[in-house]
Amino acid sequence: MRKKFVAGNWKMHGSLAVNLGLLHALREGAADLPAQVAVCVPYPYLAQARSVLNGSAVAWGAQDVSEHAQGAYTGEVSGAMLQDFGCRYAIVGHSERRSFYGDTDVVVAAKYEAAQAVGLTPILCIGETLAEREQGVTAQVVTRQLEAVLDRCGVASLAQAVVAYEPVWAIGTGKTATPAQAQEVHALIRARVARNSAAVADGLQILYGGSVKPGNAKELFSRPDIDGGLIGGAALVASDFLAICAAG
């Protein structure tokens, strides 16, 4: 039986003052929830997340990681540096990284590998654009994105990873995939993993992301292959995020 997992992606939001209230509310509010909970914060706030969340039920992580271990890569942050700040997770392949910063499938797979090399759990984001959905190629797109990681790191690596299906057209737009639309793609992702290993597929947490709110979380999370959510905008409001976590 897979545990539900709800992870917040703060994106480029926050300040020391604003985060403080949010982190303390999560620390208190998530104490007795059945779901696993995490927040992925901007790099400068990792120390603050560690200081407030340490010893709580809420894990923390980053929103990206370099594919390189160290060296002359100005502006990059390595997996080992994230480990220094107690991170458990690193998001890789978020659609904003893919579309604004040129993260290709190959780069995303390298980042996934780099995260795992230092013991971080990658949250691998995959998902189609609106144009791709309208062209009827959703299955091919998510399969291609998943196979980039399978080819590089092997199916066993997914036993130490989380996949987030995030249709690009639903991220930050207020448009949510229907539970049936999301379930269909989640089932397809699990079936593709099962072709390589039924056991890994069975244990894999596959999150849905894209305008999840307190009002739609329960219905989404009740589908058999939806194991929780990756939450953007609603993760910035403690009461909303905790309500979503409670739906898990």
CA distances in angstroms from 37 to 27, 106, 156, listed in the order given? 10, 29, 24
What angle, 0 to 180 degrees and rounded to 10, lies between the N-to-C axes of helices 214-221 and 179-196?
Answer: 40
10 carries a ligand binding annotation: yes
Residue tagged active-site, from 96, 132, 166, 186: 166
Q: DSSP per residue over 25-75, as a string? A: HHHHHTTT-SSEEEEE--GGGHHHHHHHHTTSSEEEEES---SSSSSS-TT
233 carries a ligand binding annotation: yes
Identify the CA nearest to 247 among candidates 2, 1, 5, 45.
5
Binding residues for ligand PEP, rule: CB under 6 A, are: 9, 11, 166, 171-172, 209-212, 230-234
211 carries a ligand binding annotation: yes
Q: Which is nearer to ligand PEP, 14 or 233 (CB)?
A: 233
Q: Is residue 94 annotated as a catalytic residue, yes or no?
A: yes
Q: Count other C-beta atoms under 10 Å from residue 187's C-beta.
A: 15
Least CB distance from residue 184 to ligand PEP, whole Å?
A: 18
Alpha carbons 221 and 96: distance in angstroms, whole number? 24
Least CB distance from residue 74 to ligand PEP, whole Å?
A: 26
Residue tagged active-site, from 67, 94, 132, 186: 94
- Whose CB is nearest to ligand PEP? 232
Which residue do the tokens 């990873």 mark? 161
Q: Is residue 132 annotated as a catalytic residue, yes or no?
A: no
172 carries a ligand binding annotation: yes
Q: Which is nearer to ligand PEP, 210 or 248 (CB)?
A: 210
Q: Which is nearer to ligand PEP, 105 or 166 (CB)?
A: 166
Q: Which is nearer to ligand PEP, 22 or 155 (CB)?
A: 22
- Is residue 47 within 8 A of residue 21, CB to CB? The reply is no
Alpha carbons 56 and 67: distance in angstroms, whole number? 29
Least CB distance from residue 245 to ligand PEP, whole Å?
A: 14
What residues are annotated to the active site? 94, 166
Binding-site residue set for substrate? 9-11, 172, 211, 232-233
Binding-site residue set? 9-11, 172, 211, 232-233
